[in-house]
A and B are shown apart, each in its own frame.
Chain A
Amino acid sequence: MKFKSISIFLVISSFFLTCILSIWKIMSTLQGLNFTNLNITGNFLNGIILSLLFVLIGNRINHLIKIFSLSFLFSFLYFYFNETSPYWYIFGVFLIILFFTNKLKKYNTKSLTEDFISEKIIFDFITLFGIVFFAFVILFPFYIMLVTSFKTQIALLVNPLDFSLDLSKSLTELFKSYFVIFETYNFSRYILISSAVSIGTVIVTLLFAIPAAYAVARLNFFGKNFLSTSILIIYMFPAIVLVIPLYTVFSQLGLRNSIFGLLIVYTATTLPVAIYMLQGYFKSIPKEIEDAGIMDGQNWFGIILKIIIPLSLPAISSVALYVFMIAWNEFLFSLMFLDNPKSFTLSRAIQYLSGDAETPRQYLMAGSVIVTLPVLFIFVYFEKYLVSGLTSGGVKG
């Protein structure tokens, strides 16, 4: 029994170590280091020896001393047996092994005899592995997007693996792609249009959605149930089936290539989500407060303006941010309705740039960074609001 759990422990832990070391090696390769071998078996064997030593030493020496000395020893061995590599790389290896041995803390010869220990080991390391895996898979493309915007086309064609930043270059040289897309590709105009459309959509949507959501949440009228189900159904209908009729009608009305046309469409498509999210919140406001307002002789306009809106500011701002993000990210309608570069939104402009095969990729990526940054910034900053909004119905996409 003990042999089985020890061997599982050794295999799983060294598998985990091998994975992080491989990711570290890949990331270093992207900094221009010339590795051609992941050296998986070597790392795996190292890992087994390391874990075995760790368990055998047990509690005989202080944990901190133990992990530091083991990490030091193994980084040194790694340095000795592997291809030549710079000191920052080895320092990274040292930190990884330090982190790894620290994670081994709760295992020793005694704990390995507990009930279900092999399952627990597997769960523990799969969790660790999963976190590293997910973080890597998610952040890697964003990382590539960012660093590509600082490189040049030629440098990337010569060595597609070298993403190291040449910090000796001047700042203007480093941010050259950004200067170029602002100066020659007119991105400041697109930023302005995108912001105008998105903020406009937020304002108009809220203007329409707050009264409607209030009525759905509070008042009794014929067709109310029909309305709230149709909100849900409309919310499921895809933009792609609306495109052709809207295109034809907008062409005949001269609304294509106009920001106003885009604004109408964005508002109409985000309204169901906004109403759905807001009415849920309005229902949670105690009705007595409104009754007090009615006693004071307020009409519905006063009630909404003076009672409902101040009380539901968090929900309203969450809806506003959400609508802003939808409008900012929207692509299909801007692709269909805009074909004059004068009225492009950011997304459409980037797509237009990519249509020309000659456009260097760093410009494309600089544009992508510009369109991504505001959204990620808003998301990170207001995460709490947005996450609660997302789970309460704002899930279109």
Chain B
Amino acid sequence: MSNTLLKLEKRTAYTLVLPAVILVFAIVLFPIFANIWISFKEIELKDIRIPEPRAKKIVKSISDDGSELKVVYKLRNSSLIQEIRNVKFQDKFPKNISILNLDPRCNFKSKKIICDFGNWEAKYKENFEIILKNINDEKIKKEIIKSQKPILSGKSDNPLLTTNFTLENFKKVFYESNFIELLLTTFYFTFFGTVGAIIFGILAAQLVNQNIQGRSYMRGILLFPYVGPVVALAYTWTLLLDPNSGTLNALLVNFNIIESPINLLGQKYITISILGFDFKLRLALTTVIFFEIWRYFPLAFLFILARLQAIPKSLYEAAEVDGASPVQKFLHITLPQITAIISILFMIRFIWNFNKFEDIFLLTGGASGTRTLPINVYQQGFAVSDIGMGSAVSIVIVMLLLAFMIIYFRLIGKKANEI
């Protein structure tokens, strides 16, 4: 191919790819790096607005004939913590108007008042008054004065762009908020959620792969929890599990299986005695893990089923001839064929479960021992409104994720591309 054609191909490729790449970089990659920046700053939710000068205009008539008006501007700095420098003010009036009490900071020229207010410190407030008079003693129309909005401008620092950094956030993440427990909860949730989903996925795939009637319906039904909206499903489960009037507890009490209702989502620990030993089980966490399994086993099921259907029937027929039992067939034919897909599923689901936010948030809000790292991002950033701290937690998540991904690509990255 000639050189010009190659160049043309390249140019075409870039024009085709660039819009998508720019959008994804702006919304996905930029925030990941912005997190690093924010995590080194002491910044709270209320600080993120850029401070701006504001004025509220109030017009009162002070003479009987309406030829004199008092205009009050309630000036303030919108920020509680930052100053605004070099505030300029400007307002317009109709013709034939004079100002009786011109402030020394202001100029009145050709129907315009221009003021230079200098610097406003944080929380600055002032009632700035002027009195207008019509030169010909005619009535001034209040509405016209009111409808004109003053223009203010000033310089201020964007609190996000200042360059004072601190390590406080990371210190707090690692030392103050019992980081180890947080990490352990996250790993319990992730690990058992993933393993459970895969085990149920294998079982379901094994079932549907057999010759039964209505197996395509079954496949559709099994995917319902995965495709349904998380809000609806989580609230349905909260209702089902509710200790006061939830169906599950009511059923169990009705059939005398338990004596009194159990608060499955609100109780941190439950003591179970097996063979005389008392075990403390993380009850709310276990319930959330079961919801997680319920919602995501369909995905594992689908992938494993696709793999199972690709296994040549002749393998099983040969085993049949050799007199293999069903268990032997499963162990020696099915299992080796699905180990690759299982390991890929394990890594993918592990990473996604690790980041799961909505499910836990909607079920427990992170209470009763179900606070994981993603929930902590929300709690720090929006409940405690410490944005810097929330970002620091996000950074921890990203670091752990990168570690997982490196492991993932080292171990099975090549296999993933094959399937």
Contact = CB atoms under 8 A, between A and B. Distances in A.
Contact of A240 (B10, B203, B355): B355
B255 A37 contact: yes
Nearest to B238: A354
Contact of A252 (B23, B50, B223, B401): B50
A36 interface: yes
Interface string B184-224: 00000000000000000001100100101000101111111
Question: From DSSP, what is the main secondary structure of chain B's interface residues?
Answer: helix
Interface string A262-275: 00110111011001
B401 A275 contact: no
Interface in A231-249: 233-234, 236-249
B17 A215 contact: yes
A141 interface: yes
Contacts of B374: 238, 240
A134 B210 CA distance: 15
A137 B294 contact: yes
Given A134-B207, A265-B27, A347 B229 contact: yes
A145 B16 contact: no
Given A26-B251, A212-B16, A243-B377, A116 B325 contact: yes
Contacts of A375: 227-229
B48 A251 contact: yes
Interface string B7-41: 00110111111011101101111111011001000
Contacts of A220: 6, 9-10, 13
A328 interface: yes
Interface residues of A, number: 102
Question: From DSSP, what is the main secondary structure of chain A's interface residues?
Answer: helix
A242 B390 contact: no
Interface stretch (A9-17, A66-74, A156-164, A311-319): A156-164
Interface residues of B, number: 96
A221 B254 contact: no
Interface of B: 6, 9-10, 12-17, 19-21, 23-24, 26-32, 34-35, 38, 48-50, 158, 160, 203-204, 207, 210, 212, 216, 218-233, 235-237, 239-240, 245-247, 250-251, 254-256, 294, 296, 299, 302-303, 306, 323, 325-327, 348, 351-352, 354-355, 357-358, 361-362, 374, 377-378, 381-382, 387, 390-391, 394, 397-398, 401, 405
Given A211-B17, A237-B401, A268-B26, 7 more contacts: A138-B224, A160-B250, A215-B16, A215-B17, A240-B357, A365-B235, A383-B219
15 contacts: A116-B325, A123-B326, A135-B221, A161-B247, A161-B251, A227-B17, A238-B354, A240-B355, A244-B381, A245-B31, A300-B12, A331-B231, A376-B224, A383-B219, A397-B226
